[in-house]
Structure 1
């Protein structure tokens, strides 16, 4: 005789479910950074460029500088105007800015080297006959 009730003493084996978590394509599978690390959505704004008045103020400050090394930077200011005010290509601006800074450092270093060579050495003895 068949009944719906299990026999006493007989147990059904426990049922195991194996779940595999497979991420589905879409926004739920994208790794989310914390809010303070996320980039803003939409069009990213380009960094602001100095205005002509800022560059003119820099030029007048360099001209009035007592240091000849700083005054030698006046040679590079027309290039700085060209970089920041007339060019629109960002990569070209970055390359030109790097060259400008490299040139300023080179001029400062050369002036420093030559200023030490032209100074009389202290403690040198000149023998005259």
Structure 2
């Protein structure tokens, strides 16, 4: 009986500590599932056939707030913890591309704001559990 109490106390303490932990790390992940349900899949990502990139980016950001949003020309970039979402013009609507931060940074580096950290820098803390910390 004492063993059961110790296990219960340990589990409760673990849960309490986890709930009270203060993490300064951003917890927002790209709303991938929501995007896949809202927009039409095409070979180059997803499309919204009628809304402009700024409108689509606002919809995505309203669903899950991005760490940062930047517009370069007519493309809107949303920065999430481990990913970048690019929303660009596509026919009469928008094309949505999701890339992991490193790939997106390399692909769109000339268009991204200089305030977004390089994925190899100490300022970048994405990459999942244990990476870059």
TM-score by length of 1: 0.24
More helix by share: 1
Larger Rg: 1
TM-score by length of 2: 0.23
Structure of higher RCO (CA pairs closer than 8 Å, 6+ residues apart): 2
More strand by share: 2
